[in-house]
Amino acid sequence: VETNQHVMAKLNKAGFKLTNQRRAIVKVLLEKQKDHLSAEEVYHFARKITPEIGLATVYRTMDLLVDLQVVDRISFKEAGMVLYDLRGDRGQHFHSHLICDRCGDVLEVEEDIMADIEPMIEEKFAFKIFDHQLTIHGLCQDCLKRGES
Amino acid sequence: VETNQHVMAKLNKAGFKLTNQRRAIVKVLLEKQKDHLSAEEVYHFARKITPEIGLATVYRTMDLLVDLQVVDRISFKEAGMVLYDLRGDRGQHFHSHLICDRCGDVLEVEEDIMADIEPMIEEKFAFKIFDHQLTIHGLCQDCLKRGES
DNA sequence: ATCCGTGCAAAATCTTTGCATCTCG
DNA sequence: CGAGATGCAAAGATTTTGCACGGAT
């Protein structure tokens, strides 16, 4: 599991300054690990920790963390809605999303579903895989019970 | 392979009117099947066929085609950039994208790489899969040859 | 003391909406 | 003819940027 210290150390190592704003943002991301937050939401929670923070800083910091592979930028909602998702310890993103098209619920799949077929893909397309992003659409358990339409 | 007639018939069957604007947009999508077009790009090409068309109509029509599962809305670029991708014959989206992080090239994989593991996922998570979207990041053949960095 | 980072507000993008008008069926 | 479609321009929503100030190293 990723810790606050760990992320801040990464920032520091990459030559970035450790400001209260960045600390607050990382803290929020760690606390809300289970959710997928929009920039606005990160801003909202970060404000409670450090009121002297602007939305622009959130955007700038999120860009930074995406570059450092600390978080993933995902966008499964409508256009213009980007969400952020904290990555695991090794900076690898081996979980996928099951999205229910009925109720909009998002299930996290922590395992790497694709581990078995990745080598096959690499060979077939002569492509070195670093990472993947899998989004599956369908109906969740609850909505299935309620009957399809 | 999907034809112009085919798509227009789908629109008609769903109770929508067959206007010149819609015809032009579908024509563009078919002609540019290999590319992923933004709304702006679709607008640009559609204009050459039917000058009396507005960007708003493109957005409205793309929404329509997404609902009818004729095209997919994808967003692997930066925030705020949505691209559209024509689906196959049966309205199913069984191709994935291999994106080279070095040169930015996007390889299309036409087959359904995930066919084998989908049943497993459905069972494990009690989730009925309709579709999926797979984006793989890494290095393409050419960039591999040129040596990693 | 230097840069880097920040807030603020303005600007830039991308997308949606209201409304009068036009057109398909 | 009438419901649905469209263009245009205005409004919305989200993200980026310029700039002077403040803070971390």
The whole-model pTM stands at: 0.75
* pLDDT band, very low/low/confident/very high, at A79 (cuts 50, 70, 90): low
**Percent of chain B clearing pLDDT 70 (strictly above):** 85
The span from the CA of A82 to the CA of B126, in Å, is 27
Where is B129: in which H helix or E strand?
strand B128-139
Q: In B1-149, which ranges are continuous DSSP H helix?
A: 4-13, 20-31, 39-49, 55-67, 118-125, 141-145
Higher pLDDT, A34 or A26: A26
Among A46-55, A63-72, B97-106, where is mean pLDDT lowest? B97-106
pLDDT at position A149: 45
Q: Is B108 helix (H, G, I), strand (E, B) or coil?
A: strand
pLDDT at A50 over 90: yes
Task: Work out the pLDDT band at B69, boundaries 50, 70, 90.
Answer: confident
Whole-angstrom Cα distance, residue A19 to residue A34?
Answer: 25
Bases on strand C under 7 Å from any protein CB: 4-10, 13-18, 23-25
Share of chain A above pLDDT 90, in %: 41
Q: Is residue B39 within 8 Å of B50, Cβ to Cβ?
A: no
Residues A2-28: tens digit of each pLDDT: 788 899 999 999 999 999 999 999 999
Asked if the model's pLDDT at residue A90 lies above 60, the reply is no
Which pLDDT value is given to residue B15? 95
Model confidence over A107-146: pLDDT tens digits? 878 777 888 888 999 999 999 887 787 878 788 898 888 7
Using 50, 70 and 90 to split pLDDT, how confident is the model at A46?
A: very high
Of the given ranges (B26-40, B49-63, B107-121), which has the lowest mean pLDDT?
B107-121
**CB neighbourhood size of B15 (10 A):** 6
CA distance A87 to B119: 27
- Give the distance from residue B75's alpha carbon to the nearest chain A alpha carbon, in angstroms: 7
Q: Please report, rounded to whole angstroms, the spatial distance between the CA atom of protein residue B48 and the C1' atom of nucleotide C20.
A: 26
By C-alpha distance, which of B68, B24, B19, B69 is closest to B42? B24
| Cα atoms in the 13 Å half-sphere on the side-chain side of A45 | 18
The answer to whether A127 contacts B80, with C-beta atoms less than 8 Å apart, is: no
Q: How far is A81 from chain B (nearest CA, A)?
A: 7
Residue with tokens 């053949």: B141
pLDDT at A7: 94
Query: What is the rounded CA–CA span in Å between residue A46 and residue A61?
Result: 12
**How confident is the model at residue B107, as a pLDDT?**
81
Phi and psi at B66, nearest 5°, equal -70, -45
